[in-house]
Amino acid sequence: MIVMKFGGTSVEDAASIERVTEIIKARVALRPCIVVSAMGKTTSRLLQAAQASAAGDARTTLGIVADLKARHASEARQLIKSNWSAFDFIEQYFAELKKLLEGLAILGEVPPRGLDKILAYGELLSSAIVSDALDERGIASQLVDARKLLITDDRFGGASPLFDIANAKIVATLAPLIAENRVPVLQGFIGATREGATTTLGFEGSDYTAAIIGAAMDADDIQIWKDVSGLMTTDPRLYKAARTVKACSFAEAAALTYFGAKVLHPKAIYPAARKNIPVHIYNSKLPQATGTAISATAPLCKNAIKSIAFLRPVTILKATIETISEEEQIFLPEDSLKTIINTMIKRRVTPLLTAVSGLNTAFVMDAKALDETTERDLLNDIAKFTSASVERDRAIITLVGAGLAQNARISGRVFNALEAVEVNAVLHGSSPIMMNVVIAAQDVEAVIARLHEAFFADFDREVFE
Ligand code: ASP
Ligand code: MG
């Protein structure tokens, strides 16, 4: 069997869902299990509705709910003529949603538990519509409630599966359906605690659902259908001549997604890699395109790197350890280093990059994960035994490829491309397959263009398209 996951843009309207049904129809013989995201933008609209309601803005809340309902009903009407269960679901779900949002207005806040319940409606709605659309086109589907299978802990907003329980339930529910040649359709992103409270796996979590299901079912393939033709040599919005990377390894994909490539949810790689199940990235708007195959081994490639990712804004925290405190207390550098790291753990800040050289330390952190108070508190704590400072509006550029490990001439080419750019740090060696460069956020476009020209002017047609 295979798992096919369709992202928000792949199911954003009737025409897109129509295309999705054709893509599935062409692959019924592979015995697919379908995982869907909410229709494009629905999750963020639901979040806005929840926030508006808690803030007492009933007008905005009701406006969003009315828009969402009209949109889902009208797209469904274009797709589904004879089978009506999706329309019942739409009525039922919007009635429930309204009640929950009213509850938030009374509470005056958005508790994580309540938010998960609200956000889940995006996927509940899209999956009901896709399932009916398949049935109407002669593909026998079965709508499955992911909350009955994907049992998680109770970290609302970012729950983790309880694999022992979840895997058994996934197999017990899906295997018989697939054996009967039915196409299960279930929601990505959502799950439930053992007690049945709805949870979510974190934003963009549908890829993770697909990987969890694929691993539990020992799938032959996990297909992620999106609106781009796979993993690219760099973000095509920044650099138009970016190419598709036809094949890469799990390790390369993990490095790229960790450092900002939007190809796949970082968590989705591990379940697939553990079971050695290939992950394919395809474009639902261009189903005939080759896409990207991610598997255990990197293909031999004439290009040293496969792709260039970027992440911005990031903040650099620099701290030079002082061995004597203001109170004339003597510090050992190793104790200070330990204290810096413990302080970060206590403040729940995970640095993306760490460099320690003698008494000088630098930590690069995702600015979006670092709010103002946390940054100030962190700096205050650390400044007690270091001279600490922060530099904002930086970016990390990451070059990834198994070829980095073998090719000694890479650094020279990278530094050449960085000429005339102010560079904050270059890190290579902690991972043999990647190199990170920290620069000013506004230099990203120029540096990516120069690196792309340096590394992909000539490219291996076996691996790139
Ligand atoms: N609908 C969810 C989101 O927008 C999950 C997903 O699309 O993967 O974050
Ligand atoms: Mg999405």
Question: Model confidence over 251-304: pLDDT tens digits?
Answer: 999 999 999 998 899 999 999 999 999 999 999 999 999 999 999 987 888 999
Question: Are residues 429 and 357 in contact, defined by beta-carbon separation less than 8 angstroms?
Answer: no
**Whose Cα sits closest to atom 6 in ligand 1?**
204
Ligand 1, atom 8, residue with closest C-alpha: 204
CB of 208 within 6 A of ligand 1: the answer is no
Please state the pTM of the whole predicted model.
Answer: 0.92
> Using a 6 Å cutoff on CB, does residue 10 contact ligand 1?
no
Cα 430–306–228 angle (5° rounding)? 120
What is residue 116's three-state secondary structure?
helix
**Cis amide bond preceding 313, omega within 30:** yes
Determine if ligand 1 sits within 6 Å of the CB of residue 189. Answer: yes
Tokens 């810096």 belong to residue: 340
CB 260 less than 6 A from any atom of ligand 1: no
Q: How many H-runs (helices) and E-runs (strands) does the chain carry? A: 13, 16
C-alpha angle with apex 205: 199 to 206, nearest 5 degrees?
105
3-state secondary structure of 208: helix
Amino acid at 49: A
- Give the per-residue pLDDT at 325: 67
Q: Which of 130, 190, 203 to mutate to test the pocket of ligand 1 (most atoms within 8 A of CB)?
A: 203
Does ligand 1 come within 6 angstroms of the Cβ of 114?
no
Phi/psi at 11 (nearest 5 deg)? -125, 30
From the CB of 206, is ligand 1 less than 6 Å away? yes
Cβ neighbors of 400 (< 8 A, separation 6 or more) are: 252, 255, 256, 259, 305, 306, 307, 308, 309, 433, 434
Q: Which atom of ligand 1 is nearest to the CA of 201?
A: 5
pLDDT < 70 stretches in the chain: 325-326
Among 10, 190, 206, 284, say which to mutate for ligand 1: greatest number of ligand atoms within 8 Å of CB. 206
Q: Is the CB of 301 under 6 A from ligand 1?
A: no
d(CA 381, CA 452): 41
Ligand 1 nearest-atom number relative to CA 204: 8
Cα of 264 vs centre of ligand 1, distance in Å, is 12
| Cβ(37) – ligand 1 distance below 6 Å | yes
**396-420: b (≥16 Cβ within 10 Å) or e:** bbbbbbbbbeeeeebeebbeebbee
- Ligand 1 centre and the CA of 412: distance in Å? 40
What is each CA distance from 315 to 364, 365, 371, in whole angstroms? 6, 5, 11
* 152 within ligand 1 shell (Cβ under 6 A): no
d(CA 343, CA 337): 10
C-beta of 351 in contact with ligand 1 (< 6 A) = no
* Ligand 1 contacts CB of residue 121 (under 6 A): no
Residue 204 Cβ contacting ligand 1 at under 6 Å: yes
From the CA of 37, how far away is ligand 2's center (Å)? 6
Question: Buried b vs exposed e over 439-458: b needs ≥16 C-beta within 10 Å?
Answer: bbbebbeebbbbbbebbbee
**Dihedral angle sign, alpha carbons of residues 395, 401, 407, 413:** negative
Provide the residue type at 175 as one letter. Answer: A
Residue 75's contacts (CB-CB under 8 Å, 6 or more residues apart) are 13, 14, 17, 39, 129
Instruction: Write down the pLDDT at residue 347.
Output: 84
Distance of alpha carbon 38 from alpha carbon 204, whole angstroms: 10
Domains with residue ranges and CATH for the chain = 2-227 (3.40.1160.10), 307-463 (3.30.2130.10)
Q: Cα angle at 343 between 338 and 345, to 5 degrees? A: 95
Note residues around ion ligand 2 (Cβ under 5 angstroms).
7-8, 37
Ligand 1 in contact with 203 (CB < 6 A)?
yes
The secondary structure of residue 233, as a DSSP letter, is S
Q: Which amino acid is at 450?
A: R
Burial tier of 329 (Cβ tally within 10 Å: 0-12, 13-18, 19+): exposed
**Which ligand approaches the C-alpha of residue 206 most closely?**
1
Atom of ligand 1 nearest to the CA of 37: 7
Per-residue confidence (pLDDT) for residue 380, from 0 to 100: 86
The pLDDT, as a whole number, for residue 430 is: 85
CB 40 less than 6 A from any atom of ligand 1: no
| Closest Cα to atom 5 of ligand 1 | 204
Say what the pLDDT of residue 326 is.
65
Q: Where are the alpha helices (DSSP H) in 266-394?
A: 269-275, 333-346, 372-383
- Residue 163 half-sphere exposure toward CB, CA atoms < 13 A: 10
Tokens 């398949």 appear where? 134
Locate the ligand 1 atom nearest the alpha carbon of residue 205 and give its number: 8
Q: Compute the residue count for the chain.
A: 465
Question: Which of 204, 212, 213, 257 has the most ligand 1 atoms within 8 A of CB, as the residue to mutate?
Answer: 204
11 CA to centre of ligand 2 in angstroms: 10
| Cα–Cα distance, 451 to 457 (Å, whole number) | 10
Atom of ligand 1 nearest to the CA of 189: 5
d(CA 366, CA 353): 10
